[in-house]
Amino acid sequence: MSNGTLCLPGTMKILVVEDEIKAADFLRKALASESFAVDVSHRGDTALEMALETPYDAIVLDIMLPGRDGLSVLRVLRERGNNTPVILLSARSHLTERVDGLNAGADDYLPKPFALEELTARVKALCRRSGESRSVQLRVGNLVLDTVTRMAQRGAHRIELSAREYRLLEYLMRHPGRVCTRMLLLEKVWDYDFDPGTNLVDVTVRRLRERLEFPGEEALIHTVRGQGYMMTSRA
């Protein structure tokens, strides 16, 4: 498992689930050479946890796995509302398995053995499709904000936001790594062109932080002493 992959903005993040160590390593290298950020899991149960916690752009999922088989991983993901594109890999090219896979919510299916070029081409095609339908999403660390539904999601947690909290979060997420002064936030989020002399910004930031915080998760909104706030992730 390789966690903490350095993820540049725009880098597509892929989870490869394959119990054969050598095969998994080939897949990881092939995808990494195409500039994907790749995490690897050799077990179905671990893969399911990772996929529920991290918003991947696509998952390459073997069917025969220890811990939990690939079809079961896929079913649970879809039951939980996770729509990450999934390519199923199978040693057997039985029609029934292919049909089972597509019924369980797979986006593509590749029988083994396959050429690595074939797999990378299909992963790229899936990411392109999902990128188009998901271009409305902002992301900082494992926090994802959907600008259409106005829902935030952190790992497996869905977060409800008030209209003002949403505007504040959207502004901060559109300017990651930049210090946003209180005055700037008053202007952009509250449409004030004057300082009302209250702690309005601080109070709303505090409420937003409480909503985004879960045990074991890093803080994403940082206080820059004497200046304002900054949204950034170590991940």
Provide the minimum distance between the beta carbon of 19 and Ca ion in the complex, in angstroms, as a whole number: 5
Is residue 64 involved in binding Ca ion (CB under 5 A)?
A: yes
- CA 40 to each of CA 67, 82, 208, 228, 229: distance values in angstroms, whole numbers, following the listed order: 15, 19, 33, 38, 35
Position of minimal CB gap to Ca ion = 64
Write out the DSSP string of 172-210: HHHSTTS-EEHHHHHHHHS--SS--SS-HHHHHHHHHHH
| Of residues 57 and 62, the one with the C-beta less far from Ca ion | 62
Tokens of 78: 């879809």
Q: Which distant-in-sequence residues (6+ apart) come within 8 Å of 41 by Cβ?
A: 1, 15, 16, 17, 47, 50
Phi, then psi, of 35 in degrees rounded to 5 = 70, 20
Residue with tokens 């901060």: 172
Q: Which is nearer to Ca ion, 43 or 150 (CB)?
A: 43
CB neighbours (10 Å) of residue 196?
10
d(CA 125, CA 109): 13
Nearer to Ca ion, 65 or 127 (CB): 65
Structure tokens belonging to residue 224: 């820059």
Stretch that binds Ca ion, among 54-62, 95-103, 191-199, 206-214 (CB under 5 A): 54-62
Q: Among 17, 55, 56, 62, which residue sits at the site for Ca ion (rule: CB under 5 A)?
A: 62
Output the smallest distance, CB 4 to Ca ion, in A.
Answer: 26
Residue 97 as a binder of Ca ion (CB under 5 A): the answer is no
Q: Which of residues 185-224 bind Ca ion (CB under 5 A)?
A: none
Closer residue to Ca ion, CB minimum distance, 64 or 183 = 64
Burial state string for 124-133 with b = 16 or more CB within 10 A and e = fewer than 16: eebbeebeee
Question: How near is the Cβ of 64 to Ca ion at its closest, in Å?
Answer: 4
Member of 5, 7, 19, 112 binding Ca ion (CB under 5 A): 19
Number of residues that bind Ca ion (CB under 5 A): 3
In whole angstroms, the minimum distance from the beta carbon of 20 to Ca ion comes to 6
Tell me if 69 contacts Ca ion by CB under 5 A: no
Check binding of 116 to Ca ion (CB under 5 A).
Answer: no
Interface with Ca ion by CB under 5 A: which residues? Answer: 19, 62, 64
